[in-house]
Chains A and B, each alone.
Chain A
Amino acid sequence: MSGTGIQSFLPPVIDVEAGEELLEVAMGPHHPSTHGVFRMDVALDGERVVRLKPVFGYLHRNHEKIAEKTTYLASMPYTDRLDYFCSMTNNWAYALAVEKLAGMEVPERAEYLRVITAELTRVQNHASAIGFLLQEMGASGTPLMYAFREREKILDLFEALSGSRMMCNYMRFGGCRVDLPAGWLDRAKLVVAGLPRFIDEIEALLTSNEILMARSQGVGVLRPELAVNAGVTGVMLRATGVNYDVRKVDHYGIYDRFSFRVPLGDHGDIYDRYMLRVLEMRESVKILEQAMAQIPEGPILDPKSKPRGFRPKPGEAYGRIEAPKGELGFYLISDGSGNPYRYRVRPPSLINLTILEDMCLGQNVADVVLIFGSVDIVLGEVDR
């Protein structure tokens, strides 16, 4: 902003020569690449993008208002529907915020269960994100079906554990809802043991694929300074080389007990984002192997936690975790009653779209689809 001396990070304005006519295209809300109902109002000069305005709200149901009208626990199943690919991490973020608000402890075994389910979620989310990205690149079917084959095994595990494949509603304030059924851990170990082979397979198919490299390297580049200022998180941020992973920063849960690394990108382009998702899956496998070897016996729910009549003391808390799509936070204000006075979801999908226009300006319209796909969003979380 000129005049105040504050350095700002607002998008550039691309000059259009006088007399030139722009083609305005509404991509969406039913465009197949938008993963749901989302619209981009794009202005084109030939094939070059000169303006791009995202339009939200087609899936808006005011999740926050609904949560404020009901009890704390009653919102737990509804958090599954935010990012419906990753219900386990949504549950965890909400439970974490409430535990901070009420000062609750989580038993050891429940912490392990949370890590195991969250990392399985991360693997299936990243696999599907790669599959969808390649689908948009024209590799229709194969990579996505490979990803879904593996995802199916993980969803079967979730179903055996929680009773539901996608809407798990698994976590509770101060622990988890049910313990592992008999034989679950052995089954999960088999699935995890098969994951490195699956990741090798994906890599053999894609990593040095000429079409993928040609379409994604140097496309949709994001600068690290802009990414930090615009609050971009998750894979999108780390692909620019900024070392920030909430698992390492906040040490929430028991992540400091596991040895794993945070992969970082170099160029901040689509290819780096693809590569980072592959590498993060490998790190998740490492965490899973350690967690499943170490998991102790014991209770899974804090005995002091009250499912009924839960009334935290007045105050507020912000809790956040590293969800597969970025930093997922919940902000809660309690006035001492059974309902939250304020319930806010910090949706990583929405905030990662802040810089969509910056990444697309000057690119070809065909690349907009890829850049958008590489952000990895879910509209249930964007619109809430």
Chain B
Amino acid sequence: MKSAEELVEELKSALPGVDVALVVNPSPSAQHSLRVAAEDALRVAAYLRDQAGYDYCSNATGVDWLDKETSEKVKTTRTVSKQVDGVEQMVEEVVEETVKRVEPGFLEAVYHLYSMKRGHSDPHPPLVLRMRTENRADRVELPSLTPVWRSAEFQEREIFDLYGIVFKGHRDLRRLLMWEEFEDHPMRRDYVDPDDYEYEPTPHDEVLKRAEEHRAQMAAAEGAR
């Protein structure tokens, strides 16, 4: 089987205009992945299955990447006026500044592919395929790869359930593990456990304190209504 680097080149020449990039994995496992743009995903997946031999999608899962704030120290040169030997002069000075940048978060769908027909004769690491949503809030749609690999059917339902990625083209996108009336997506990194202090049978210590706060809040809400 071809390595991920070779596959990127092959895909770019076979499917003109396709948006595929190699994501290097620094860990000792060295399982590199292909990141594909959502609008090209179905085309790439069909090519990988029918031409590149990846007929088996082993694993499909989601990953939640929160907004990442990075701070970077940047050296800039500025001209400032300074007293040098009693005379005012314009002097260039190097100043260190901290620049903060926020990389917006996104949800990611990850697929692990193998080849069953080449498996025994040609041992290979998994080919990892990744897709990103535009953000984590309202633009969370990705194309479903179930038309290509049926094994993603329940797994995409699980991703929808636990991460909230909406797979377009999935024929039966319902929650898989949580009940249908449930509203949140529990596997997200910023998920907050539901407030169930009311049901604490014997509140004690810290829980008792929080339970009292909770009851005060509930009473205030009742009064406001």
Contacts and interface: CB of A to CB of B under 8 A. Distances in A.
Interface of A: 1, 4-10, 56-57, 60, 62, 64-65, 100-103, 226, 228-232, 242-244, 248-251, 312-318, 320, 327, 329, 331, 333-334, 341-342, 344, 346, 350-351, 353-355, 383-384
Contact of B110 (A60, A320, A331, A334): A331
Contact of A329 (B50, B59, B128): B59
A257 B163 CA distance: 42
B11 interface: no
A315 B25 contact: yes
A281 to B, nearest CB: 22
Contacts of A384: 177
B101 to A, nearest CB: 18
A351 B169 contact: no
Given A101-B27, A102-B28, A249-B120, A6 B147 contact: yes
Contacts of A8: 146-148, 150
A338 B2 CA distance: 34
Contacts of A65: 186-187, 191
A318 B120 contact: no
B176 A315 contact: no
A62 B57 CA distance: 23
9 contacts: A62-B187, A100-B28, A103-B28, A228-B116, A312-B27, A329-B59, A346-B112, A351-B155, A354-B153
Main secondary structure, interface of B, reads: loop
Contact of B154 (A4, A317, A333, A353): A353
Given A56-B177, A228-B56, A248-B120, A317 B27 contact: yes
A253 B178 CA distance: 36
B187 A64 contact: yes
Given A231-B57, A318-B126, A342 B151 contact: no
Query: Contact size class for B?
Result: 35 or more
B169 A318 contact: no
A67 B152 CA distance: 23
Contacts of B123: 249-251
Nearest to B122: A249
Contact of B27 (A248, A316, A331): A316
Nearest to A60: B177
B63 A333 contact: yes
A314 B26 contact: yes
Given A64-B187, A316-B27, 5 more contacts: A229-B149, A244-B119, A250-B123, A251-B123, A346-B58
Given A6-B147, A229-B150, A250-B123, A315 B26 contact: yes
Interface string B155-194: 1000000100000010100011111000000110001000
Contacts of B128: 318
Contacts of A100: 27-29, 31
B135 interface: no
A242 B116 contact: yes
B169 A1 contact: yes
Nearest to A262: B120
Q: Quick one: which of B29, B162, B176 has the most chain A CB within 10 A?
A: B29
B26 A226 contact: no
A325 B116 CA distance: 18
Contact of A4 (B57, B147, B176): B147
B42 interface: yes
A313 B169 CA distance: 37
